[in-house]
Chain A
Amino acid sequence: MSRLKIKKGYNIRIAGLPADEIKVGQVPSRISIQPNAFKSTKPKLLVKEGDSVQIGSPLFFDKNNPKVNWASPGGGVIKSIQFGPRRVIENIIIELDRDEKYIVGQSFQADSISTLGKEIVLDKILDASLFPMIRQRPFNKIPNPIQSPDAIFISGLNTAPLSVDLNIALSTRLESFQAGIDALSQLTTGKLHLTLPVESVLSEIKNCVINTISGPHPAGNVGIQIHHTSPLKPGKIIWTINAQHVATIGDLFLTGSFNPQMVATIAGPMVNDPTHIASRIGCSIQSLLHKQLKNGFSRIISGDVLTGTESSIDGFMGFYDSSITVIAETDEREFLGWLKPGSSKTRYTLTNAYFKNGNRNFSFSSGLNGGIRALVPIDAWENVLPMDIMPIALFRSIIAKDLEEMEQLGIIECDPEDFALCSFACPSKIELSEVIQDGLDLIEADG
């Protein structure tokens, strides 16, 4: 076990913090899964519009990896399948039945799960079509189930702005979580690392190596935890899985079926009563944000403000996401705004670092807050990147498409989510996390 202290980084003080209670919102009538959102896969449909499905029925599979199926997160009728350009499958929408049916498979005693053996565990997860919950580093994609990971990492804390507090979300699911750890720990020949905050409801979990981490965001990012505990190198593969999905896997072993329930947050400056809310995988945003949107033009994001994807009130929560964040879309132009060292709305890098302004939270909007310029290296990136990576040198090597230098500078240890704060803090408004993704794509394509 290791104790990590992260110094670099920043907790963005954005308004609309979710309350600590779990509210029950409107019951959704529809849910969805977005096949196109899974990187490096070739989805092939197993269902068509009008088919009836149960929770856990396979909806589509990956042509590159035919063993990997995706389970239906709801029971009902396939309402529509939406295609995008070049017939990529964008959205499978399921109209839910009043009482949904589950596919029920074999269940196990809690104390027997840790002795099942790798083959049974892997087959169970693949058969239940829940394997896509697991992702691998490098590249943050769904792994090839045949490859054995060198380690498994699970982050037991979310530090991203307005994200779910896992102590709240998991305090009632400890048995499921333990069962999930028992199962997953058998998938690797190495260790299963669970990284926790100093105070966590998960600190009594067994069958894993427990590390603690403290510090500002991105301390909760699994990429940062890997980097400081067991850093990646060429040929090394690490699997990761979201903490709430560990409990889902645990439920699969304990009950034999897929439990799509989870806790999400609805938060941000444009939400009336930001709170934790009982939700489910792929939940419709309409049902979560029912009567919660403030007046005004807003941007609805599935996920957190740093890494989420733009959606709409008619959209659905992404497969790996557990928050819906709403910020204002603004067209306002401040008169001579650049003369002020900070602004009343948002400030971090310059003045805010020293003049704390109490504990005010700021109503961030979608404004870029400046023009795009060439890089002026005043350490804005380095101050929020707690990794032994030289971001400027790496950035330049990616722009130059120099594959060899990118690898030497450690691109495979990087993931865009760890660089999101760099984009946030950059005075030149350079999209560093996008550039990192480009670099990873180049390396992945090169093999």
Chain B
Amino acid sequence: MKVLRNLMDKMAPVFEEGGKLEKLYPLWEAVDVGVYNTNKKTKQAPHIRDSVDIKRVMILVVFALLPLYIFGAINIGVQGSIAQNMTRSWNENLWIGLQQILPIFVVTFLTGGFWEVLFASIRKHDVNEGFFVTGFLIPLIVPATIPLWQVAVATTFGVVIGKEIFGGTGYNIFNPALTARAFIFFAYPGAISGDKVWVSGVDGYSGATGLSIPAAIEGGNAKQLLDSFTQFDFSWWNMFIGWIPGSIGETSKILILLGAGFLILTKVASWRIMVGGVIGLFSTAWLTNGLAKYSTNTMLSLPAEYHLVMGGFLFGIVFMATDPVSASQTNKGRWIYGILIGVMTIIIRSINPAYPEGTMLAILFMNAFSPLIDYFIIKGNINKRMARYAK
């Protein structure tokens, strides 16, 4: 690898101050430290630093997401084969899925990378690793059938409006990947609506999502409706394993839970947010189950464990809500933030007739409120201290 290092050292002056391409320095810097670790040194105490940096933090999230990519690809093929009544091998399914995912992935990274480098060049800071995770998240939360131009527009919206106008990674209020998804959701409801799923490989083939089945019928029993649905297998175990149509990465709940375990072990994501979210979801679902007999709203009768494995809740609470920047930043606040996401998800799913799925909106809503939660937690710390000072 010495040859590459020497070559790069020779190229460096072109991008440094006074060089021909000095405007592209952030791009060069990103490539340079991407290929070789930085050789920056400490200038003051502490003289030694841990080997963790933002790159390592981000790559760990990507590690947690990779199984979802593979499962997502196979599942695209599987759903297509079920729709066409044919059998295919795993390899064929994977290959068909990859043909769908890779273009989305490439478009996301090209668009997002372009904006990252542009903002870094204008604002003269290093290219931030934050987009790395955003770029891996966006393809997982869109359906395989999404038009590529919509991916490009949504990524642009997510990166520019969701993050860069606030100052970049570390300063954003909303989760950029979720902002991108919300943009498609509201701007192009024909492609991603929450009440319909499309199966790739078969033109115009679509069906109801699990959540929209009980939402559409009044006065029924949600669990019975799901069990009797024939187009897709909406049994609890199948939804837990993930062989159902949906957005690319959110269907396999078991792999999401594995990813959650990995993120908690490596201390990248807050377990408080995840556990809080599940607590909020279960308790509110139990409450609506109790109220179900007073209403004709079928959704109210959907059992809590079904809420857990349906729609994007688990993916959202594990990978989206735990974005450390847009989430609450105090430990007590994280509990409140997580619990309220669970509560809001059920409220939107069950009580709001407009949207059968509520996780995305719940997380974005709580993103907006997390600074307020933190404000009160910090105020509490201050009040405690002031009371002691006054003694």
Contacts and interface: CB of A to CB of B under 8 A. Distances in A.
Interface of A: 12, 14, 231, 233-234, 299, 301, 303, 305-310, 325, 327, 329-343, 345-351, 353-354, 364-380, 382-383, 388, 390, 392-393, 408-410, 420-421, 423-429, 431, 433-434
Complex A-B, nearest 4 residue pairs according to Cβ-Cβ distance, in ascending order? A370-B53, A374-B170, A337-B37, A333-B36
Nearest to A307: B45
Contact of B48 (A335, A366, A379, A428): A366
B37 A338 contact: yes
A411 to B, nearest CB: 11
A231 B385 CA distance: 10
B45 A348 contact: no
Interface stretch (B14-22, B145-153, B192-200, B325-333): B325-333
B389 A420 contact: no
Contacts of B33: 371
Contacts of B103: none
Nearest to B47: A305
B52 A348 contact: yes
B206 to A, nearest CB: 39
A333 B5 contact: yes
Contacts of A351: 266
A408 B386 contact: yes
Given A342-B51, A370-B37, A428-B170, 13 more contacts: A346-B49, A349-B50, A353-B266, A367-B40, A370-B49, A370-B54, A371-B40, A376-B54, A376-B169, A378-B269, A392-B330, A393-B378, A409-B378
Given A335-B1, A376-B170, A368 B270 contact: no
A346 B36 contact: no
B382 A408 contact: yes
Interface stretch (B56-64, B105-113, B225-233, B307-315): B56-64
A392 B46 contact: no
Interface in B156-202: 167-171
Contacts of B49: 346, 367-370, 423-424, 426, 429
* Chain B interface mostly: loop
Contacts of B389: 233-234
A153 B167 CA distance: 45
B89 interface: no
A303 B378 CA distance: 35
B378 A333 contact: no
With a 10 A CB-CB cut-off, give which of B33, B45, B128, B381 has the most chain A CB atoms: B45
Nearest to A347: B51
24 contacts: A299-B47, A307-B45, A310-B44, A333-B5, A336-B36, A338-B34, A338-B53, A341-B63, A347-B52, A349-B50, A366-B47, A369-B49, A369-B52, A371-B33, A373-B53, A373-B129, A374-B170, A378-B324, A379-B331, A388-B381, A393-B374, A409-B385, A423-B46, A429-B49
Given A305-B46, A371-B40, A350 B325 contact: no
B377 to A, nearest CB: 8
Contacts of A370: 37-38, 40, 49, 51-56
B265 interface: yes
B388 interface: yes
B265 to A, nearest CB: 6
A360 to B, nearest CB: 14
Given A343-B51, A373-B169, A354 B382 contact: no
Nearest to B265: A354
Interface residues of B, number: 59
B351 to A, nearest CB: 33
A424 B49 CA distance: 5
Given A375-B170, A376-B324, A388-B381, A353 B267 contact: yes
A421 B46 CA distance: 8
B329 A392 contact: yes
B385 A433 contact: no
Contacts of A369: 37-38, 49-53
Contact of B50 (A332, A366, A424): A424
A431 B54 contact: no
Given A332-B39, A333-B5, A378 B267 contact: yes
Contacts of B51: 342-343, 345-348, 369-370
B48 A305 contact: yes
Interface string B20-42: 00000000000001111111111
A350 B52 contact: yes
Given A367-B41, A368-B40, A374 B50 contact: no
B270 to A, nearest CB: 7
Contacts of A427: 50, 52-54, 56-57
Nearest to A380: B52
B268 interface: yes
Nearest to B390: A233
Contacts of A364: 48
B60 A350 contact: yes
Contacts of B5: 333
B45 A308 contact: yes
Contact of A368 (B41, B57, B167, B269): B41
Nearest to B45: A307
A365 B324 CA distance: 29
B54 A373 contact: yes
A410 B389 CA distance: 10
